[in-house]
Structure 1
Amino acid sequence: MAERLVTIATFHELTEAHILKGRLEAEGILCFLGDEHIVGVQPFYSVAVGGVKLKVSESDVMEAKAILARIQEGTSQFDYDTIELAPPMQEHAPARTCPNCGSDNVAEEKYNKTVFSLSYLLLGFPVPFRSRKYKCYNCGHFWKAKK
C-alpha cells in the first residue's frame, strides 16, 4: 500500500524550496515539491496556491522536521565523508597558448568562416569546411594547429 505524503513546510520562494529539498534528499529522505511549476511560471500566484509545498512520506515526517529545525537553527552538520565524489573531469584537448604573446586566452575555430558565409549566400545553405585554426583573443593572432 502506498504511503501518504505529508506537507512539512511551505515556501514562497522556489529556490529556497529546492535547496531544502536537496538537503533532505542528501540526508536520504525521499521528498517532493507541490505546486512548484505554478509558482515557477507565475511567482505572484504563490500566495494564491499556498506557496511551494515540501512533502515527505508519513514515515519520514519526524526525521525531516528535525533536519529542517537543525538547518533553521544553523547547527546542522552534514557528514561529507559518506558521499561519493565524482572523479575530476578530464580535459579533452591540451591547453593551447598563443605562439605570439604566450596567452592562454585562445579558442579553436573549427570551420572556415569565409567559405561558410559565401556558400550560404550563393547556395542558400552553409557548407562547413573544416579548418583547425586557433585565435588569440589578447593579440588577435591566428595560427594553424600542428599535428
Structure 2
Amino acid sequence: MKKEFHTLGTFEFPADAVVIKGKLEAEGIPVFLKDENTINSYSMVSNAMGGVRLQVYSSDMERAKEIFDEVRSYATDDSGNPIICPNCKAARSEIYYSRKNIFFKLFPFFESTKYRCMQCNFITRPAQ
C-alpha cells in the first residue's frame, strides 16, 4: 500500500516544528520533518529552502489539521496584537512569502512581508 505525505505546515526554525510534532505524536499521528537536519546544520539556508516541512500521512491529514489549528500561533503586529484580515475580519493570519521570481528565490530576505488569512486565503501587506 502506497502512503502519500501531505505538508501540514512549514517553519523557519526547526524548534517550532518539533513542538507541533510532539503534540501530534502524543495524539497518535506519525509526523515527519523534511529538511530538519539540513536546516539545523546550516540555519542560514532556511529561507532559501522553504523552511522545515512538517508532513503527515494523507490519511491523517484531517485530524492533524484540527490539532494543528488548536495549538498554532498566528501572526501578530509589533504590539503583539493579531493581524486582522481586511477581507473577512478573521484574526487567523500567517506570514506569507510568494517567492515567484528567481531573485526572491535566491535572496528571500529582500521580499517584503505579506500575510495570508487562514480562513479566506486573502493576501495582504502589513499597514506601515
Question: TM-score, normalising length from structure 1?
Answer: 0.48
Larger radius of gyration: 1
Paired residues for 1:89-100 under 5 Å: none
How far apart are residue 68 of structure 1 and its match?
0.7
CA distance in 2, matches of 1:43, 1:20: 19
Tell me the matched-pair count.
74
Deviation for aligned residue 1:72: 2.6
Consecutive unaligned residues of structure 2, counting only runs of 5 or more, are 74-128
Partner of residue 52, structure 1: 52
Query: Displacement of 1:64 after TM fit?
Result: 0.6
Superposed displacement of residue 44, structure 1: 0.9
Q: Which residue of 1 aligns with 2:8?
A: 8
Larger relative CO (CA 8 A, sep 6+): 1 or 2?
Answer: 2
Matched residue, 2:66? 66
Give 1:19's aligned residue.
19
Q: What is the distance in 2 between the residues matched to 1:15 and 1:22?
A: 11
**Runs of 5+ consecutive residues of structure 1 not aligned to the other structure:** 74-147
Alpha-carbon distance, 1:70 to partner: 0.7
Runs of 4+ in 1 over 4 A off after TM superposition: none
Q: RMSD of the TM alignment (CA)? A: 1.5
Pairing of 1:67-106 with structure 2 (within 5 A):
67-72=67-72
Percent of matched pairs sharing the same residue: 40
Determine the C-alpha separation between the residues in 2 that align with 1:34 and 1:72: 19
- The 1-side partners of 2:26 and 2:37 are apart by 22
TM-score of the two chains, using structure 2 as the length reference: 0.55
